[in-house]
């Protein structure tokens, strides 16, 4: 079996810490959180105290100043046990990253220490009812009024929406400028006019709060702007590779874990006088899935290596995201079949994994958008070769 070489002994020691935390503080309660549709705020404080949040935040802002692999360890171990409720990935990999990369010194000192401790929960407000993957068509408006901007509009499918204390919000400051009219703002959760709609009932990831958000004359100071006016779309584009890589990391781990569950189950479950694992169909199915999962793991780890060196291109991340998302869904579907009727029971992890899987073909950019981007890049390169 191909051995992973990304992680140092220090990373693996941290992995053991993360596993113990998850086993103690998350796994016993996750089913209850699924019923509630939300995790308690004190979990975030416990995760912060254990060092699971925003590992790469520099020490000057209260973080550990660790490398990205520490965040990867947290994402992988959460995925391994199907802990989809706590929205740590959005908080750590997106909101904190936007602040680190584009925030002013004041913004960083205000929010990053609190995000590291779990005192402040971050969320990303981009998707709208009329604009999913096509962010250029968002309708939430921010209009300058003296030293402030007044925001009106709505967002939907916002992870951590019920709990968030700070929201990175995409707005239109110039409706006629297309992508160049998009501006990002930090919006505090207690701003007058910022209203949280219902906690959406989803097919899967039931413990993660996902919300509609409404903005009615929300006034924020110009100092809350992230980057400069009109730069928002460009800033979002610089983080696409990292967002898609995180999706691939989660899918790679779930794929491997589900195969392990299925090997264990089929080796014990009997039918017609022998175990299900003794049937050639079972062996062939799992052999195919295992081989594809190893290919997916190699691709993902290579992308992580490139990201650590600052060399991961958006198209490579899109290919990893597309391949691993498809494999993730394929694996849980075919493995559930090998569990038979028990696989359809919510009490088994495979049933939860099946429900949780479907969104990965949508989140972080739909599979269709990934195909479009990859195909466009192919023909762009073809035309450039033809002109030389």
Regions of the chain short of the pLDDT cut 50:
none
- CATH number of the structural domain spanning residue 102: 1.10.540.10
Helices (H), strands (E): how many in the chain?
13, 10
Q: Which of 171, 203, 228 is the last residue of a domain?
A: 228
Asked if residue 210 and residue 199 are part of one domain, the reply reads yes
Asked if residue 252 and residue 283 are part of one domain, the reply reads yes
Helix intervals (H) in 143-268: 232-238, 240-268
Residue of 76, 243, 256, 292 with catalytic role: 243
On whether residue 234 sits in a domain, the answer given is no
Asked if residue 245 and residue 377 are part of one domain, the reply reads yes
- In whole angstroms, give the CA distance from residue 266 to residue 340: 10
Residue 137: the pLDDT is 83
- In whole angstroms, give the CA distance from residue 126 to residue 138: 8
The encoded tokens of residue 155 equal 């967002």
Is there a catalytic annotation at residue 243?
yes
Q: Decide: 85 and 208 in contact? Cβ < 8 Å.
A: yes
Strand 182-188 relative to strand 225-226: parallel, antiparallel, unpaired?
A: antiparallel
On whether residue 3 sits in a domain, the answer given is no
Strand 166-172 relative to strand 122-125: parallel, antiparallel, unpaired?
A: parallel
Find tokens 């490398």 and name the residue: 67
Domain that holds residue 254: 239-382
On whether residue 4 sits in a domain, the answer given is no
On whether residue 254 sits in a domain, the answer given is yes
Residue 382: the pLDDT is 73
| CA distances to 153, 244, 317, 368, 370 from 361, in Å | 27, 11, 14, 9, 10
Asked if residue 101 and residue 211 are part of one domain, the reply reads no
- In whole angstroms, give the CA distance from residue 318 to residue 70: 22
Asked if residue 131 and residue 95 are part of one domain, the reply reads no
- CATH number of the structural domain spanning residue 304: 1.20.140.10
Which of 232, 100, 211 lies closest to 155, judged by CA? 211
Q: Which of 93, 121, 149 is the last residue of a domain?
A: 121
Residue 385: the pLDDT is 73
Asked if residue 365 and residue 250 are part of one domain, the reply reads yes
Asked if residue 364 and residue 250 are part of one domain, the reply reads yes
Residue 383: the pLDDT is 76
Q: Which of 202, 228, 254 is the last residue of a domain?
A: 228
Length of the chain: 388
Q: Decide: 147 and 103 in contact? Cβ < 8 Å.
A: no
On whether residue 275 sits in a domain, the answer given is yes
Helix (H) or strand (E) holding 383: helix 367-386
On whether residue 388 sits in a domain, the answer given is no
Q: Decide: 100 and 63 in contact? Cβ < 8 Å.
A: no
- CATH number of the structural domain spanning residue 171: 2.40.110.10
- In whole angstroms, give the CA distance from residue 352 to residue 82: 8
What phi and psi values does residue 387 have, to the nearest 5 degrees?
-90, -5
Total number of domains constituting the chain: 3
Instruction: Using CB atoms within 10 Å of the CB of residue 103, give its burial: 0 to 12 exposed, 13 to 18 middle, 19+ buried.
Output: buried
Give the number of other CB atoms < 10 A from CB of residue 252: 27
- In whole angstroms, give the CA distance from residue 218 to residue 309: 40
When computed from its CA atoms, the radius of gyration of the chain, rounded to whole angstroms, is 22
On whether residue 113 sits in a domain, the answer given is yes
Asked if residue 196 and residue 145 are part of one domain, the reply reads yes
- In whole angstroms, give the CA distance from residue 370 to residue 379: 14
* Partner residues linked to 170 by β-bridges: 184
Asked if residue 185 and residue 128 are part of one domain, the reply reads yes
Residue 387: the pLDDT is 64
| CA distances to 21, 46, 58, 109 from 63, in Å | 19, 15, 5, 11
Asked if residue 181 and residue 107 are part of one domain, the reply reads no
Predicted TM-score of the model (pTM): 0.95
In the chain, which ranges are E strands?
122-125, 141-145, 148-159, 166-172, 182-188, 194-199, 210-221, 225-226, 270-271, 274-275
In 44-192, which ranges are E strands?
122-125, 141-145, 148-159, 166-172, 182-188
On whether residue 327 sits in a domain, the answer given is yes
Asked if residue 143 and residue 36 are part of one domain, the reply reads no
Asked if residue 253 and residue 365 are part of one domain, the reply reads yes
pLDDT in tens, 233-246: 999 999 999 999 99
Using DSSP's 3-state secondary structure scheme, residue 218 falls into strand
């Amino acid at each position: 079996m191909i051995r992973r070489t990304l992680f140092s002994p220090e990373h693996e020691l941290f992995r053991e810490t993360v596993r113990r935390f998850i086993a103690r503080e998350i796994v016993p309660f996750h089913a209850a959180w699924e019923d509630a549709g939300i995790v308690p705020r004190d979990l975030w404080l416990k995760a912060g105290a254990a060092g699971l949040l925003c590992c790469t935040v520099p020490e000057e802002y209260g973080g550990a100043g660790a490398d990205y692999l520490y965040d990867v360890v947290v994402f992988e171990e959460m995925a391994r046990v199907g802990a989809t409720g706590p929205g740590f990935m959005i908080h750590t990999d997106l909101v904190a990253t936007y602040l680190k990369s584009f925030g002013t010194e004041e913004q960083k000192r205000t929010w990053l220490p609190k995000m590291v401790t779990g005192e402040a929960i971050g969320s990303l407000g981009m998707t709208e009812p009329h604009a999913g993957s096509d962010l250029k068509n968002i309708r939430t408006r921010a209009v300058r009024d003296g030293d402030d901007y007044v925001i009106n509009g709505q967002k939907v499918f916002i992870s951590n929406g019920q709990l968030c204390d700070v929201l990175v919000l995409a707005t239109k400051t110039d409706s006629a400028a297309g992508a160049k009219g998009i501006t990002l703002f930090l919006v505090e959760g207690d701003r007058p006019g910022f209203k949280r709609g219902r906690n959406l009932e989803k097919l899967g990831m039931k413990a993660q709060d996902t919300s509609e958000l409404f903005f009615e004359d929300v006034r924020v100071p110009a100092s809350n702007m992230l980057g400069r006016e009109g730069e928002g779309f460009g800033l979002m584009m610089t983080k696409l590779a990292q967002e898609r890589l995180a999706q691939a990391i989660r899918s790679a781990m779930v794929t491997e874990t589900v195969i392990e569950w299925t090997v264990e189950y089929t080796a014990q479950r009997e039918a017609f006088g022998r175990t299900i694992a003794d049937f050639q169909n079972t062996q062939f199915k799992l052999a195919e899935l295992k081989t594809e999962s190893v290919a997916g793991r190699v691709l993902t780890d290579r992308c992580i290596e490139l990201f650590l060196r600052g060399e991961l291109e958006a198209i490579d991340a899109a290919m990893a995201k597309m391949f691993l998302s498809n494999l993730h869904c394929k694996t849980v579907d075919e493995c559930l079949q090998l569990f038979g009727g028990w696989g359809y029971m919510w009490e088994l992890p495979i049933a939860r994994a099946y429900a949780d899987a479907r969104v990965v073909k949508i989140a972080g950019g739909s599979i269709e958008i990934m195909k479009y981007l990859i195909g466009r890049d192919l023909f762009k390169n073809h035309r450039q070769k033809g002109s030389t």
